[in-house]
Structure 1
Amino acid sequence: MTQEEDGLDGLVRKRIRALRVAQGWSLEELATRARLSPSSLSRIENGRRRLALDQLVTLARALDTSLDQLVETDTDDVIVSPMIDGSHGLLRWPIKSEPGMTVMRQRMTSPPPDNPASMRAHPGREWLVVLSGTAILMLGHRRLRVETNQAAEFPTMLPHAIGTAGGPCEILGIFDREARRGHQSDRTARPDEDRP
C-alpha cells in the first residue's frame, strides 16, 4: 500500500467514525443500518479490517452521504477569495462542491420598486439572510419585512424584488445556477439599479 493510499484509507475511516458520532449513533446502530456486525464496523473504523468497496457503498448509504463524499481527497482549495463587482456592490463566492451555486454579499440602499412590473421572475431558487438592517422582499403580491438575522427562501419563478426599509441593509444570498443567471441578466439589462 502506498503512502497516498494509506492516507486515503485513514481519512475514510476517520470520516466514517466522525459521521457516525455526528448522528449520535453507537457502533451497534450504524452496524445495524449498514447490515454489518458491530465488531466488523469497529475493525473498519480502527484500521484492523480492509476497506471493501461494497462495504463503503453500504456505509455511505447508511450514513446518508455518497461514496464520492466519503472518499473525497481534494481539499487543496479550502479558501475561496471573492470575485468583486464594485459597480453593483457585490462580493461573489462560487461553491466548489455544488457547481453552479454562488454566494453573494450585497449592501443595498434603495427601497424595492413600487411598480410590480419591475419585479423579475426566472427559473431557480434563492436563499438570503439579512446581515444588517431591514430588507423588504416583494414576492408576488406580498410585501415581507426581513429583519437582521432572519432568512428567506423562495423559488425565483415568483416575481420578486428586494430593497431596504428606510436605511441601508446588507444581505448574503445563495443562488442556484438558474437564479444566478437570472440576476446576472437583470443587472446587465439595468446596470443603474440596485438589486441582489
Structure 2
Amino acid sequence: MAQEFSAEIGDVLAGVGPRLRRLRSRRGVTLAALSAATGISTSTLSRLESGQRRPSLELLLPIAQAHQVPLDELVGAPEAGDPRVRLSPRIAHGRTVVPLTRQPGALQAFKIIVPGGRQDPDPKTHEGYEWLYVLAGRLRLVLGDRDLVLRQGEAAEFDTRLPHWFGSADEQPVEILSLFGSQGERMHVRARPSGR
C-alpha cells in the first residue's frame, strides 16, 4: 500500500514539469518574464519544467500566483470524488427504502415509499430522533396517544423513544423523506411551514 502511494506521488510530481511548460507556453510567457514575476531564477524554472528539479511548495506557490491559477492546477491534483449517491432501494416491512446518505454517521436520510391500504398500527420505540416530510400522498402518524394525518408538504419531528408508527392514511401510496439521527441529534429547519 505504501509503495502504491509513493508511486502515485512520483507520477504526480513527474507530471508537474510538463504541466508548467504547457501553461507558460499557452500564455505566451517567457522564462525571463516568469522569473521576473516570481523571483525564481530562469535556470531553476527551466530545470523545474524539464523535470531536473523536484517541485516544492516554495517554488510552486509563486508560479501559481504569477499565472493566477490554483495550486492544484499546477500539480494536477485529482478531482474530488463523485458527490452523487448511488441509490440502492431495498424493501423493508413492505416499504421501499432508498438511502440518500452514503456514510454512516449521526444523521441518515432516506426516501421511503409506503404502499397504500389501511394497516393496524404497531407502535415501536428505539433510541433516536426522526424528522418526516411528506413528498406525496397522505401519511398516518401514530405518536404516543395521538393519531395524525400529514398531507403533502407537511413535516413532523419526534423523539423515537415515544411509541410511534406511520403508514398510508388511505388506499394510495405515500412518499416521505425521513431524516434519522441518534439521540440528541435534531434536524434544524430554517423555514416554517405555512399554517392551515
TM bucket normalised to smaller: 0.3 to 0.5
Greater helix fraction, Structure 1 or Structure 2: 1
